[in-house]
């Protein structure tokens, strides 16, 4: 996702003059470096797999993720992997593979919605602070400081507990955690760009302040935001799983959220340890995908590392 | 209510694992216990120390102030009641009273007391001590009168000498007279459940000297958060029981030692150490590693593995009921056809077989079959999806939507995993054509408060019996109008009141059978399980007799030699 966003942005800003050339060059360069980085390839592959599974879940899942069938279930005894059910059955006789597949959907959905919400609000605040500076900057940044002072998972738990057990409250909770991060990042990046030579040049040519900010400084400040976005998706998946694990996910326990599936297996770890392995593995792999990709992007987009 | 303070075994500890669960999973499965007992064929011996895993420390060791299982467990060892239940049953037998006799009108009870009984502090047990205790409970004031502090007094005796809350009602207790070695208790009306109620550990007779010396009545705070200022319940509980308190180190251990001057058969064990271990899986691991020799409330899923590893599993007789309750004030549950449709839609057999230990039964009415008054032929609602669909069609309700509530962060004997029960039943209802809106809340206080104020549509709940009387089950649920259930058929209330005050046992049985049929015809909910809570002990531990009402004592327990 971030890859294409970067490419679009590069294409879009290509015709906006000298600064655009510079940006386009950065992204084109970054892309070239990404293709050569094994970290990026592994990350991108994992992310692609995750997104593919999430999008095509109804086609990929062999069974309904919520179809309860207690026929073969006994206390502490769940049929393990078989030809019909490659990952076995869970404690209510549901197909574990189908639940893991559908779980990707909820993780991706929560990740994207919460990230978008958090990024939009965070970027708006960052833009405000970065563009105006002065007392606006002071006010916004103090607000951000307050939010950053509370540990992120604690903040998310607080918000989720306040809004009640719903999928939407998980999304909002994680979005709230992302707001200060994006705000701070964009502001810092913009402050650096505002003092750059091309901004000064534009100003000396009589370009208005708004135009400089929106068309020159903002696009050029986005590189770290893209990196952060990728990393934030990983964090969002972990936090969504964490909240679900703590019982703050959706009110419907039948919804196959990975975190909740992991929490449920806790009671029968001794008799069916594999049931804890699958959602755990799913969380680890998807999170690792986004982290690796994010790391590779960070390196690729770092101007200091350009050769 | 709803066992609110009784045996709360939260599983919150289970949540603390996070992703670590992934790693623990593989480790835990390999760590099965090695066989510790070598040869257990030899006879048990006297002496030794038993370490028993509990889920928490006692709230207080003053029986009058507690209603939770963990506190009552300790009180049972230290104190004794006038009467008790037969080991493993609910029938009443003598304990501190050797004989008991009601008057013809059922209002005067004469208890002939056992001679030669001494409290741990040397005080003699006599009729004066008995009356002192009853008068103490009757004269509770302020915080002592809140339902959370003297729950069982209110359950059995309703009110106090001076009711500070007018809703409490007239006390069943009138006074207590000392007549030589007899204590005569006068009641304001006849009550069929009075004698059964006296077997509750909350009516333990404590040493009057110690009660005064250690300021047992000094209670401050609020009903929600009472503070016991005196040291009677925390450091100096003095009763006549087979064990006395040696030390109590909160969050670490509570040590009971044999009372050498006990009037009956002295305890076989030298000491019993009660070790609080909140997390269920951790209790199992403690048993497997040999840290403890027994624990209570074994998870259904652990039974087979523990048995296979050579541990003893002791089951309590089924004395509870798990049910799906309806609030008949909420549409569409006001419609009898919809209630019947729900009952036919639920596959109770499949759930009980899959999620409860062997021996659990599918419930057909709101009280266990072992109690008198259990009706043989109540209306049955077998699992039948087609019938459920037909009933919905007949009801005239299109697209019936129900809010279905379940509690989180709790495990009860009748409901080891509420979320699993919810998901199974919810899938059943959906299959029959209901739209289910899932609702959940933490057990205490949110969930129980929502239930008690009538905020739930369908709800998962249950009840564990306190004493062997039908009034403790269906009387608790349906004798008075409660927002949780919504309006029932009017005659059910009156019938239950009549059954409670009927002195003749045979007539009472008939009355309860009749009202059970009426209840199941009206269908205020769907009872689905009577289960047998289990305890686990190491090989060779002998003499523990599980009781349906948890009246269990450690004095007969012995360790292998």
Query: Per-residue pLDDT tens for B323-377?
Result: 999 999 998 999 999 999 999 999 999 999 999 988 899 999 999 998 999 998 9
What is d(CA B521, CA B527) in angstroms, rounded to the nearest whole number?
13
Average pLDDT in chain B: 87
Residues B501-523: what's their mean pLDDT?
92
Burial class (CB within 10 angstroms; exposed 0-12, middle 13-18, buried 19+) of B49: middle
Residue A251: pLDDT band (50, 70, 90) is: confident
Question: Cβ contact (<8 Å) for B281 and A75?
Answer: no
What is residue B45's predicted lDDT score, i.e. its pLDDT?
61
Are B22 and A281 in contact (CB < 8 Å)?
yes
Q: CA–CA separation, B130 vs B25, rounded Å?
A: 54
A161 near B CB under 8 A: no
Which of B294, B318, B298 lies closest to B548, judged by CA?
B318
The helix-helix angle for A258-265 and A274-301 (nearest 10°) equals: 140
Q: Which residue of A has its CA nearest to B421?
A: A92
- Between A262, A263, A273, which is nearest B26 by CB? A273
- Domain assignment of residue A4, yes or no: no
Task: Give CA torsion, residues B425, B426, B430, B432, to 10 deg.
Answer: 20
Instruction: Give the nearest chain A residue to B420 (CA atoms).
Output: A92
Please state, in angstroms and rounded to a whole number, the distance separating the CA atoms of residues A294 and A40. Answer: 8
- What is the per-residue burial (b if ≥16 Cβ within 10 Å, else e) of A202-216? beeeeeeeeebbebb
Helix (H) or strand (E) holding B520: helix B505-522
pLDDT value, residue B28: 35
Nearest one of B548, B87, B70 to B283, comparing CA atoms: B70
Q: How confident is the model at residue A24 (pLDDT cuts 50, 70, 90)?
A: low
pLDDT exceeds 50 at position B4: no
Among B440, B264, B429, smallest CA distance to B348 is for B429
Least Cα distance to B410 among B420, B401, B402, B400 occurs for: B420
Encode pLDDT of A286-305 as tens digits: 999 999 999 898 888 876 66
Tens-digit pLDDT profile for residues B311-327: 999 999 899 999 999 99
- pLDDT for residue A13 is more than 60: no
> Can you tell me the distance from the alpha carbon of B412 to that of B529, in angstroms, rounded to the nearest whole number?
12
A282 touches chain B (CB under 8 A): no
Residue entry with tokens 């940006």: A23
How far away is chain B from the Cα of A89, in angstroms, using its nearest Cα? 13
Q: Is residue A17 left, alpha or beta, with left meaning phi > 0 and alpha meaning psi from -120 to 50?
A: left
CA distance B526 to chain A (A): 19
The residue-averaged pLDDT of B215-219 equals 92
| Nearest-CB residue to A242 (from B18, B355, B420) | B18
Nearest alpha-carbon partner for B24 in A153, A261, A268:
A268
Angle, alpha carbons A142-A147-A151 (nearest 5°)? 140
Which residue of chain B comes nearest to A284, CA vs CA? B19
Mean pLDDT of B6-22: 35
Percent of chain B with pLDDT over 90: 65
According to DSSP, the β-strands at B253-258 and B458-464 are unpaired
Q: How many domains does chain A have?
A: 1
pLDDT band at B242 (very low <50, low <70, confident <90, very high): very high
A217 token code pair: 């400084």
Mean pLDDT on B240-254: 95
Looking at beta carbons, which residues of chain B come within 8 Å of A67? Answer: 427
Among B531, B448, B453, B522, smallest CA distance to B492 is for: B522
Can you read off the two tokens belonging to residue B157?
């005796």
Pairwise pLDDT comparison (A134 vs B382), residue with the higher score: B382
| pLDDT tens-digit readout, B116-157 | 999 999 999 999 999 999 999 999 999 899 877 888 898 889
Q: Which of B14, B28, B406 sits opposite A270 (nearest CB)?
A: B28
The token pair at A100 is 């893991």
Return the residue of A nearest to B285 by Cα.
Answer: A270
| Residue A212 token pair | 């400089």
CB B388 within 8 A of CB B396: no
CA distance B2 to chain A (A): 22
For residue A306, the model assigns a pLDDT of 55
Whether residue A251 and residue B439 make contact (CB cut-off 8 A), yes or no, is yes
Instruction: Say what the pLDDT of residue B33 is.
Output: 35
Average pLDDT over residues B292-296: 95
Residue A93's closest CA among A104, A82, A103?
A82
Residue-wise pLDDT for A83-92, tens only, equals 999 999 998 9
Residue A70 and residue B350: Cβ atoms within 8 Å? yes
How many residue contacts between A and B have a Cβ separation below 8 Å? 126
Q: What is the pLDDT of residue A21?
A: 55
Q: Considering chain A, what is the average pLDDT of its residues?
A: 84
The average pLDDT across B404-432 equals 90
Q: Which of residues 529-558 of B touch A (CB under 8 A)?
A: none
pLDDT at B16: 35
The answer, yes or no, to whether residue A233 has pLDDT greater than 70, is yes
Tell me the average pLDDT across A55-67: 92
CATH number, span B320-529: 3.10.105.10
pLDDT of residue A52: 96
Domain boundaries, chain B: 320-529
Please classify residue A35 by burial: count the beta carbons closer than 10 Å to its beta carbon, then call 0-12 exposed, 13-18 middle and 19+ buried: exposed
Residues 6+ apart with CB under 8 A from B279: B11, B13, B14
How far is the C-alpha of A64 from the C-alpha of B430, rounded, in Å? 14
CB contact under 8 A, A66 and B300: no
Neighbour order of strands in the sheet with B401-408 = B435-442, B401-408, B458-464, B320-326, B525-529
Name the phi and psi angles at B554, rounded to 5.
-85, -5
The answer, for A124 touching chain B at a CB cutoff of 8 Å, is no
Q: Answer yes or no: are the C-beta atoms of A57 and A100 closer than 8 Å.
A: no
Coil/strand/helix, residue B537:
strand
Query: How many angstroms away from the CA of A228 is the closest CA of chain B?
Result: 23
| Domain coverage including residue A118 | 25-62+95-305
Complete DSSP assignment for B33-58: PPP--S---SPEES--EEEEEESS--
Mutate which of A75, A247, A257, A282 to test chain B, going by most B C-beta atoms within 10 A?
A: A75
Cβ neighbours, 10 Å, residue B141: 12
Distance CA B84, CA B204 (A): 10
Instruction: Report the CATH number that the domain containing residue A145 is assigned in CATH.
Output: 1.10.3720.10
Place of tokens 């009927």: B502
Neighbours of B201 (CB within 10 A): 27
Q: Quick one: which of B58, B54, B70, B4 has its CA closest to B233?
A: B58
Bigger pLDDT: A251 vs B419: B419
Cα atoms found within 13 Å of the Cα of residue A173, Cβ hemisphere only: 34
Look at residue B85 and give its three-state secondary structure.
strand
Residue keyed to tokens 């408060």: B449
Question: In this complex, do A280 and B408 lie within 8 Å of one another by their Cβ atoms?
Answer: no
In the structure encoding, which two tokens stand for residue B285, read together?
Answer: 């691991």
B354·A75 Cβ contact <8 A: yes
User: A3 and A44 in contact (C-beta within 8 Å)?
Assistant: yes
Cis preceding linkage at B332, omega within 30: yes
Mean pLDDT across the stretch B382-386? 96
Chain A contacts in chain B segment 390-409 (CB below 8 A): 406, 408-409
**Mean pLDDT to the nearest integer, A182-210:** 86
What residue has token string 């955690």? A177
Query: SS3 for B64?
Result: helix
A276 and B25 within 8 Å at the Cβ level: the answer is yes
Instruction: Please list the helix, strand and coil fractions of chain B in percent, rounded to the nearest 5, in that order.
Output: 30, 20, 45
Nearest-CA distance from A121 to chain B in Å? Answer: 29
pLDDT digits (tens, 9 = 90+) for B46-71: 789 999 999 888 989 999 998 888 89
Do the beta carbons of residue A26 and residue A301 sit within 8 Å?
A: yes
Distance from CA of A259 to the nearest CA of B (A): 9
Contact B173, B188 (CB under 8 A): yes
């Amino acid at each position: 996702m971030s890859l294409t966003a970067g490419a679009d942005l590069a294409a879009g800003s290509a015709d906006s003059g000298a600064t655009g050339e510079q940006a386009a060059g950065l992204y084109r360069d970054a892309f070239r470096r990404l293709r050569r980085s094994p970290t990026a390839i592994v990350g991108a592959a994992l992310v692609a797999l995750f997104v593919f599974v999430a999008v095509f879940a109804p086609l990929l899942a062999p069974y309904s993720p919520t179809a309860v069938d207690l026929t073969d279930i006994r206390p502490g005894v769940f049929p393990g992997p078989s030809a019909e059910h490659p990952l076995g059955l869970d404690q209510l006789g549901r197909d574990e593979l189908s639940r893991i597949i559908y779980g990707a959907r909820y993780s991706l959905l929560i990740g994207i919605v919460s990230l978008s919400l958090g990024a939009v609000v965070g970027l708006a605040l960052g833009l405000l602070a970065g563009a105006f500076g002065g007392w606006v900057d002071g006010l916004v940044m103090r607000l951000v400081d307050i939010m950053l002072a509370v540990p992120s998972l604690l903040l998310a738990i607080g918000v989720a507990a306040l809004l009640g057990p719903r999928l939407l409250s998980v999304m909002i909770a994680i979005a709230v955690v992302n707001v200060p991060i994006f705000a701070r990042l964009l502001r810092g990046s913009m402050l650096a760009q505002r003092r750059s030579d091309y901004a000064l040049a534009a100003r000396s040519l009589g370009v208005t302040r708004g135009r400089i900010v929106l068309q020159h400084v903002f696009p050029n400040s986005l590189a770290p935001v893209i990196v952060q976005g990728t990393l934030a998706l990983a964090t969002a998946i972990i936090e969504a799983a964490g909240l679900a694990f703590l019982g703050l996910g959706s009110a419907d326990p039948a919804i196959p959220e990975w975190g909740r599936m992991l929490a449920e297996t806790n009671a029968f770890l001794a008799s069916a340890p594999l049931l804890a392995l699958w959602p755990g593995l799913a969380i680890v792999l998807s999170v690792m995908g986004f982290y690796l990709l994010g790391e590779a992007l960070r390196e690729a987009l770092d101007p200091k590392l350009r050769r | 209510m709803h066992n609110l303070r009784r045996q709360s075994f939260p599983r919150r500890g289970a949540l603390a694992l996070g992703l670590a669960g992934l790693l623990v999973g593989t480790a835990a499965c390999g760590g099965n216990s090695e066989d510790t007992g070598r040869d257990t064929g030899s006879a048990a011996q006297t002496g030794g120390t038993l370490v028993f895993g509990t889920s928490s420390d006692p709230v207080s060791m003053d029986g009058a102030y507690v209603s939770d299982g963990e506190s009552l467990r300790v009180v049972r060892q230290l104190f004794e009641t006038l009467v008790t239940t037969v080991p493993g049953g609910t029938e009443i037998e003598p304990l501190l009273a050797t004989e008991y006799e009601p008057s013809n009108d059922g209002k005067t009870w004469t208890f002939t007391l056992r001679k030669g009984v001494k409290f741990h502090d040397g005080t003699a047990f006599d009729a004066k001590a008995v009356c002192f205790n009853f008068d103490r409970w009757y004269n509770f004031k302020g915080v002592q009168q809140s339902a959370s502090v003297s729950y069982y007094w209110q359950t059995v005796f309703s009110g106090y000498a001076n009711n500070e809350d007018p809703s409490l009602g007239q006390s069943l207790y009138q006074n207590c007279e000392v007549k030589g070695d007899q204590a005569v208790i006068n009641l304001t009306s006849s009550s069929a459940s009075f004698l059964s109620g006296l077997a509750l550990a909350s009516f333990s007779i404590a040493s009057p000297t110690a009660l005064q010396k250690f300021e047992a009545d000094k209670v401050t705070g609020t009903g929600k958060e009472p503070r016991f200022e005196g040291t009677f319940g925390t450091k100096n509980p003095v009763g006549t029981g087979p064990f006395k308190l040696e030390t109590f180190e909160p969050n670490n251990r509570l040590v009971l030692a044999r009372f050498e001057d006990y009037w009956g058969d002295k305890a076989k064990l030298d000491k019993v150490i009660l070790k609080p271990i909140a997390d269920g899986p951790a209790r199992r691991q403690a048993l497997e590693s040999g840290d403890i020799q027994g624990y209570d409330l074994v998870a259904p899923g652990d039974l087979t593995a523990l048995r296979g590893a050579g541990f003893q599993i002791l089951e309590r007789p089924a004395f509870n009921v798990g049910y799906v309750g309806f609030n008949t004030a909420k549409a569409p549950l006001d419609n009898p056809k919809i209630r019947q449709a729900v009952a036919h839609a639920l596959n109770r057999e499949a759930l009980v077989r899959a999620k409860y230990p062997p021996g659990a039964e599918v419930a057909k009415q709101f009280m266990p079959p072992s109690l008198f008054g259990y009706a043989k032929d109540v209306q049955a609602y077998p699992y039948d999806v087609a019938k459920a669909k037909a009933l919905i069609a007949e009801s005239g309700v299109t697209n019936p939507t129900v809010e279905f509530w379940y509690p989180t962060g709790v495990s009860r004997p009748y409901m080891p995993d509420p979320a699993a029960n919810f998901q199974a039943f919810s899938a059943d209802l959906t299959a029959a054509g209901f739209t289910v809106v899932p609702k959940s809340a933490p057990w205490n206080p949110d969930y129980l408060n929502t239930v008690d104020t009538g905020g739930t549509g369908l709800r998962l709940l249950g009840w564990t019996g306190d004493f062997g009387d039908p009034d403790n089950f269906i009387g608790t649920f349906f004798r008075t109008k409660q927002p949780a259930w919504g309006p029932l058929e009017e005659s059910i209330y009156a019938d239950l009141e009549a059954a409670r005050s009927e002195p003749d046992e045979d007539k009472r049985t008939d009355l309860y059978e009749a009202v059970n049929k009426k209840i199941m015809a009206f269908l205020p909910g769907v009872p689905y399980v009577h289960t047998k809570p289990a305890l686990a002990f190491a090989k060779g531990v002998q003499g523990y007799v599980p009781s349906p009402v948890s009246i269990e004592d450690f004095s007969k327990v012995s360790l292998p030699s």
